[in-house]
Every structure is written in C-alpha cells, then in structure tokens.
Chain A
Amino acid sequence: MTPNTAKVSGDPYEVLCAFLKKESGLIIDAQKRYLVESKMQPIIRREGLNGFHGLVDILINNKSAPLAKEVVETMTINETYFFRDKVPFDKFSQVVLPKLIETRPAYKTIRIWSAACSSGQEPYSLAMILDQMKAQLGGRRVEIIATDLSEAILAKAREGLYSQFEVQRGLPTPFLLRYFDQKGDKWQIKESLRSQVQFRRLNLLGDYNAIGNVDVIFCRNVLIYFDNAGKREVLAKMRRNLANDGFLMLGASESVLGTSTEFVADPMHRMVLSPADANLGAARRPAVAAPATPAALRAAILAG
C-alpha cells in the first residue's frame, strides 16, 4: 500500500474520531488519544503505513473497506469478563427473573438481549444463571440473543474459548468445573451452554427489527461511548423492542437521567430500568415485528 498523506488536513486524530463517530456512534474524547494510538499501532505497522496520517488517509478516502471495518471493530471492542460488576447479575436473578416468571404464562418464551456482548462473557454468564435457576423456570423456554458490531469478536464469542486469565476474572471455580471443558491451556464453554446463545452482528445505530420483542435488555457500559443524540436514539429504539413490562439493565455507573424519558430507574434497584410509559399500554408505541422463524416463514408461504 502506498502511503499518501496529502489529502488529510487537520489533526489526523480528530479526523479518525469523526470517522469512528460516523461509522459506529463511538465518541472518543481527547484524553483517550494514547489508547487510540496504541490500538492503531499494530494495524499501522502491519500495513506498512506512514503513521497515523497514512491510516486516516485510507479511511477517509475509502481506499480499503476491510481496513476501515477492522479499525472500527478494534476501537469498539470492550474488555469484559464473566459476571462483570456482579450486582446486575444479582438483580437479574433476584428481581428481574422472578418477576418475569410471575407475570409470564409458562408457555411464553422469555427473550433476553445482550446488546454489545463483546467476547460473549455476558450472555454466557446469563446462560449459567438460567441453568442454575432451571427449577424456578419450570420448563419455560428462554432465548438469549447476543449482538455486537464486530464480526471478529462475535467469532470469538461463538467459539466460547477463553484464556486462563479470562476464566478467572469473575467466574467462580464451581462454575468453571461445571460449564467449561479444558482445551490445553484454554477453557471452552460446553456445547450445551453455547447452543443457548444466538450471536448476531448488529450496529446499535442501525435497525433492530431482526431482534424482535424482548423481555430484558442488557446494555451495560455501552452508552458511555455515545454522545447524547446517540444515547437518545439507542434508548428510543430499545424501548420499541422491549415489552411494556420488560427491563433494561444498565451498567453500574450509567443512568438515563437528562438523556431519555423513555425509561425510569427502579428506586430500589438503581440499574434496573422499566419503560416510563409502561402503564399507558402498548398503543403508545409502534409494534415491532417478531423475528421470522423458519416455521413462520413456511406457514406464510403456504398461506399464499
């Protein structure tokens, strides 16, 4: 690749930040410059580019779509670990799930969406909790849909293969023994648990129709990367996908105060939010189509 820096005007760091915002909604402040540069250095070296200028030139001039995608994915991957922050998982098992079991008929599938799931630790933690609570679920079906912007990180999540360090951060040893197989110096989530999570690529600034209606959304430590307009957009769209009596789980330090009126926090459980218009009925919000299943598609075709 031939370096060409002539077309980049202004601070390339700022140009890159504008590019990332446009492509993914990601907001990066000036203090993160070192982080951005250190994440981009391996790409710059591998491609033999003329530093930051060279990389930005390729991005803004659409010279390499795969490289642009890689840059966005590299910057949007979050470090995560099993049962991260612990408390939201307490709330899920002690408050949210009992409420859903109480209010949903046994035949109704409970649908949980892990938005921005990164390498899969969050949806797999949820799958472990659900397995632990099998008796309370009384045979109810539960679907876990996990989405992320990055194809690369979704591939890792689907494989469910983690290093020794990754499985020791947050995961209790009895869970390691129960839900993982040892593969050399790595640990892989057992197939029975992996098959419970559907991983899909999704840009949170894009269309959520493929997700369908859900009962719980885990959207933790994601909104912090959006500006206010981006946050409002994401929350408004999530509201349309969430059941009227559903729950939105935010990160421990996150809040919708001053950003959105779509949700209200439970005064007893800060990071558990409910739709603000829940009591006004479903008529207030546009319906979201249920995801098409092969059986539904077949029935539709047969019906003409």
Chain B
Amino acid sequence: MTTALVVDDSRVVRGFISKILESIGFVVQQAENGVLAKAACEKSMPEVIIVDWNMPEMNGLEFVEALRAMPNGHEPKVVFCTTENDIKHIMKAIESGADEYIMKPFDRAILETKLDQVGILPHSVETSALAAIG
C-alpha cells in the first residue's frame, strides 16, 4: 500500500483529496498545517505528499524546504495543490523541491495525472515518455 500525506488547512479539500487517493489504493494521513505535517513525517515518512501553499503556522513552501532538509526528506514525491496559480509561485515550488504542481480548482483526472507523472500512481504499468526523454 502506498502511503500519502494530505496537507491543507481546509477540511473539505483534505477530505476531497483523501477520498480520491483512498479510492485508488493509497493509505492516507491528513495534516492541517506545515507544523503538523512535519511532525507526521518525522514519525513516518510517506511516499507522496499533497500540500497546499497558504496555511497558518507553517506554509507549504516552508514545509517543503524543511522536509527536504530532513534525513530521508528527499524520498517522498511532493505535489503542491494550491490557488497560487502564477508562474512565479510555480517556479518557486519546483525550486524548493516539489515534483509537481496542481493549480486549484482541479479534478480527479488532474490529480491522477500528476501522481502518474511523479511515478506514484498505483497500477501504473507504463513509464512516462517524459521521464525517458529527460
């Protein structure tokens, strides 16, 4: 079972993402801000993290930077999922160590596409053309 951590201060969004992930075979944990997400990772590092940008206590960018500095913090695939939809934010997220970026609003197909692109979609048998051509 692939483990996932969903980090978002909105209970509705956490629930929406978690339901999709669970339906395709993930075991999902939730956190409502960066501090709680970091604590969850210290306890048990998930294989994929879906993280919002704007959250109280520790925002998504600060969390990803802190995560990547942790021992084994390079292991999880990180996908931002945020309403920050401008090119500067996307660049910043990728530079901070995120693997993919979802702009809200999004749907199930987009989430699945992004999981596939980071190579974490269960039952995915084909490797990405894009990974192959680097």
Contact = CB atoms under 8 A, between A and B. Distances in A.
Contacts of A132: 130, 133-134
Give the interface size class of chain A: 20 to 34
Given A83-B129, A87-B126, A133-B133, A174 B94 contact: yes
B109 A169 contact: yes
A209 interface: no
A170 interface: yes
Interface string B91-134: 10010000011110011011001101100000000111110111
A172 B100 contact: yes
Interface residues of B, number: 26
B87 interface: yes
B106 A93 contact: no
Given A86-B126, A164-B85, A177-B87, A172 B132 contact: no
A182 interface: yes
Given A86-B126, A164-B103, A182-B86, A94 B110 contact: no
Interface of A: 83, 86-87, 89-90, 92-94, 129, 132-133, 164-165, 168-170, 172-177, 182, 185
17 contacts: A86-B126, A86-B129, A93-B133, A94-B132, A129-B133, A132-B133, A133-B133, A165-B107, A165-B110, A168-B106, A169-B113, A172-B100, A172-B130, A173-B90, A173-B100, A173-B101, A177-B91
